[in-house]
Chain A
Amino acid sequence: MEIENIQSSAAIPAKTAGEPNRAPIQAILLQLRAFIALLILFGFFAIYSDSFMQTNNLIILTKQVAINAILGIGMTYVILTGGIDLSVGSIVGLCGIVAGGLINEGLVLSVFDVVIYFNIWIVMGLTIICGMLIGMFNGILVTRFSVAPFIATLGTLYIARGLALLRNSGATFPNLVGDPELGNTGFPKLGAGELLGLPYSIWIMAALAIIGTFIAMKTPFGRQIYAIGGNQRAARLSGVRVKQVTLMAYVISGFCAAIVGLIITSQLVSAHPATGESFELNAIAAVVLGGTSLSGGRGTIGGTIIGAFVIGVLSNGMIIEGVSSFWQTVIKGVVIILAVMIDQFQQRLQKRNG
């Protein structure tokens, strides 16, 4: 990487090239904290549990992490602008239902009295567009109507969930295998298929993480996202189109949520309107654990992926060990609070040293 990452991050040490690194060891440890936490968790469960380090379990763990990590990638963009997207869980549910409906019932054009069944690629394309449109709706509320992101996306959370329930009167779209006569078979492959022994969802996560990092680091759009989160007024006076860029962040978040909706629906081979409840909180937790500041401008997608893995390893390890799910919830909360406390501590340390 030519352009060094200067945004301080939990995941990645900000090292200055060409100069002996004189940062105190504690500062380095703090910056690497999410990564260290991940290693410690790995080590702990590897020693404590017989089955944790089995290849199968590691693949399953990564597959489960992928869901949260993909949502986290979109969420990172939004949080980098200083916003938040509470609607992603509902978008997951709605997009699943949209895809399920298109496969099982097709697109009903009552005006012309016809039903159109689409090829599975088009179904997925339409579903993704649907997610992006909801993201755009969030973005328009935030940028054009100056609704606080928390409120705007909270509203969308309810709207999207309600629409998902309305679409099929609260019922599930079952058995989404398609019909060879209609030419829309193959949807379950997305969830069940493998490439080189790894499920597609893991590859999708990896691809999105790489593309997401590239966009954040190497395009004007990414740079402007960081600028807006760091100082919106300064960004505006530098000619950054604050509204458009912020809106795009929400569209990206909607895009990622739609992808997750497709993956889950495909894994379950059925679309359930309640899917994705409280996913937004897990995604936010992953972003925050990864060292992204909720006030914006600071953080990386790599950090978010590590954050998602911390949550995933923790819950997978505890599930295998049969820890009560009530305790799992408590421990997850403690970890998130610790992460934010350490983040504050690091910022203070940085300020003092700077």
Chain B
Amino acid sequence: MNKRSWFKLVKLLILAVIVLGGLTPNGNTLKAQDEAPLIVIITPSHDNPFFKAEADIAQARAEELGYRTLVLIHDDDPNLQDQHFDVAISQGAAAIILDNAGADASIAPIQRAKDAGIPTFLIDREINETGVAAVQLVSNNYQGAVLGGEEFVRLMGGEGKYVELLGRETDTNAAIRSQGYNDVIADYPDLELVAQQTANWSQTEAFDVMETIIQANPDIKGVISGNDTMALGAAAALQAAGMTDVIVVGFDGSPDVMDAIRQGTIQATVLQPVANFSEIAVDLADTYIQTGELPEEEKQSIDCILITPENVDEYGVFAPLE
């Protein structure tokens, strides 16, 4: 490679950029004003139906209100989320709806968006800072966990060996839910915790973990899980081992678990009314964009609902049926 051919390459690149840049309408200006404002929706991966529902509902609501939308996935990777914020800022978004990738790691990008004049509306998960996000709409995880815990105790009859499956250790909700469960269960000394393991919110990991636990504890009577996907994994492992009468309780209220409750492989879950907060968040964003007003309280919590075989048919995809 000699000097001259290097120069040629560089010249070629610059030329190409200029030509292509020139071809582009509105080459270097911001978005044309006549276009509808943009709402960017960032959530964890859609392979969990909970987050898919969350994103889909927010998108539908925003488009109904006449906004353009951009739906992005951060895969619980704060760095990817950070990059998505850069994109939202450079695209001149009017608002960001976010189910975040880390209570601490999300503060910096939200602040950066705020500095750029873009409000972030948090749903589902909160962050460890106030005054940065426009609103934090979270389901009352603790209240929900207490509901789930109480139902679990009732189903267990207040006694017996049980297993707890924890969510991803780095996720605040995992800790809050576990706290809620244990605050209830602590009052029942005859309930014996034989294993407490993380399965990282994952169905396959929960299946593997459960299979192993069954080997050591064939006499367990119940499993309480930090979310629904793990509950499904645990239920599958129990079914495979022929332990069909073990009680399984989940959290989220995903459609799959609703089905499982109807079939009796899972006994209860706690529904987070996602549809509600996705819609409320978009509505709040809309109000802000129209009027510049925000609700007084930054943190707003929405109560969860216990789902059992008795009331399962009254609820649809993360929301009560109309």
With both beta carbons as reference points, the residue of chain B lying nearest to A319 in the complex is identified as: B87
Q: What residues of chain A lie closer than 8 Å to B3, measured between beta carbons?
A: 1
Q: Is A268 an interface residue (CB 8 A)?
A: yes
Q: How many residues of A contact B (CB 8 A)?
A: 54
Q: What residues of chain B lie closer than 8 Å to A326, measured between beta carbons?
A: 46
Mark contacts of A53-87 with chain B using CB atoms, 8 A cut-off: 1 yes-contact digit, 0 otherwise: 11111001001100100000000000000000000
Asked if A268 and B170 sit within 8 Å, CB to CB, the answer is: no
Bound Cα distance from A264 to B24, whole angstroms:
32
Q: What residues of chain B lie closer than 8 Å to A46, measured between beta carbons?
A: 20-21, 23-24
Q: What residues of chain A lie closer than 8 Å to B72, measured between beta carbons?
A: 319, 325
Bound Cα distance from A270 to B81, whole angstroms:
13
Q: What residues of chain B lie closer than 8 Å to A51, measured between beta carbons?
A: 31, 90-91
Q: What residues of chain A lie closer than 8 Å to B78, measured between beta carbons?
A: 268, 270, 272, 274-275
Contact among B23, B79, B84, B168 with A47 in the assembled complex (CB-CB below 8 Å):
B23
With both beta carbons as reference points, the residue of chain B lying nearest to A328 in the complex is identified as: B73
Q: What residues of chain B lie closer than 8 Å to A172, measured between beta carbons?
A: 102-105, 170
Contact among B28, B31, B76, B89 with A53 in the assembled complex (CB-CB below 8 Å):
B28
B94 to chain A: closest CB distance in Å?
14
Q: Is A169 an interface residue (CB 8 A)?
A: yes
Contact among B86, B105, B128 with A268 in the assembled complex (CB-CB below 8 Å):
B105
A243 to chain B: closest CB distance in Å?
31
Q: What residues of chain B lie closer than 8 Å to A221, measured between beta carbons?
A: none
Contact among B30, B107, B170 with A269 in the assembled complex (CB-CB below 8 Å):
B107
Given A13-B5, A39-B16, A172-B104: A47 and B24 interface contact (C-beta under 8 Å)? yes
Q: What residues of chain B lie closer than 8 Å to A57, measured between beta carbons?
A: 87, 90-91
Q: How many residues of B contact A (CB 8 A)?
A: 54
Contact among A15, A64, A170, A272 with B1 in the assembled complex (CB-CB below 8 Å):
A15
Bound Cα distance from A257 to B259, whole angstroms:
45
Q: Is A173 an interface residue (CB 8 A)?
A: yes
Bound Cα distance from A277 to B82, whole angstroms:
15
Q: What residues of chain A lie closer than 8 Å to B103, measured between beta carbons?
A: 172, 174
Asked if A169 and B90 sit within 8 Å, CB to CB, the answer is: no
Q: Is A17 an interface residue (CB 8 A)?
A: yes
Given A14-B1, A325-B72: A174 and B87 interface contact (C-beta under 8 Å)? no
Please report the number of residue pairs spanning A and B whose Cβ atoms sit closer than 8 angstroms: 141
Q: Is A5 an interface residue (CB 8 A)?
A: yes
Asked if B91 and A53 sit within 8 Å, CB to CB, the answer is: no
Bound Cα distance from A274 to B167, whole angstroms:
14
Mark contacts of A254-281 with chain B using CB atoms, 8 A cut-off: 1 yes-contact digit, 0 otherwise: 0000000000100111101111110000
Bound Cα distance from A204 to B20, whole angstroms:
27
Asked if B79 and A1 sit within 8 Å, CB to CB, the answer is: no
Mark contacts of A22-42 with chain B using CB atoms, 8 A cut-off: 1 yes-contact digit, 0 otherwise: 000000000000010001001
Contact among B1, B77, B104, B105 with A5 in the assembled complex (CB-CB below 8 Å):
B1
Q: Is B65 an interface residue (CB 8 A)?
A: no
Q: Is A180 an interface residue (CB 8 A)?
A: no
Contact among A35, A54, A274 with B30 in the assembled complex (CB-CB below 8 Å):
A54
Bound Cα distance from A15 to B108, whole angstroms:
48
A189 to chain B: closest CB distance in Å?
12
Q: Is A322 an interface residue (CB 8 A)?
A: yes
Given A15-B1, A46-B21, A47-B20: A268 and B90 interface contact (C-beta under 8 Å)? no
Asked if B107 and A175 sit within 8 Å, CB to CB, the answer is: yes
Bound Cα distance from A277 to B77, whole angstroms:
8
Asked if B82 and A267 sit within 8 Å, CB to CB, the answer is: yes
With both beta carbons as reference points, the residue of chain B lying nearest to A63 in the complex is identified as: B86
Bound Cα distance from A165 to B198, whole angstroms:
13
Residues of B near any A CB (own CB < 8 A): 1-3, 5-6, 9, 13, 16-17, 20-21, 23-32, 45-46, 69-73, 75-79, 82-84, 86-87, 89-91, 102-105, 107-109, 112, 128-129, 168-170
Q: List 14 A-B contacts (CB under 8 A).
A: A13-B1, A13-B5, A15-B1, A50-B25, A53-B24, A60-B89, A172-B103, A188-B108, A272-B170, A274-B77, A275-B77, A320-B87, A322-B71, A325-B46
Instruction: Other than A1-B3, A272-B78, A320-B87, give 8 A-B pairs with Cβ distance below 8 A.
Output: A4-B1, A39-B13, A42-B17, A43-B20, A54-B30, A57-B90, A269-B108, A270-B102
Q: Which 8 A-B pairs have the closest CB atoms?
A: A170-B169, A174-B104, A270-B104, A46-B20, A269-B108, A172-B104, A56-B90, A60-B86
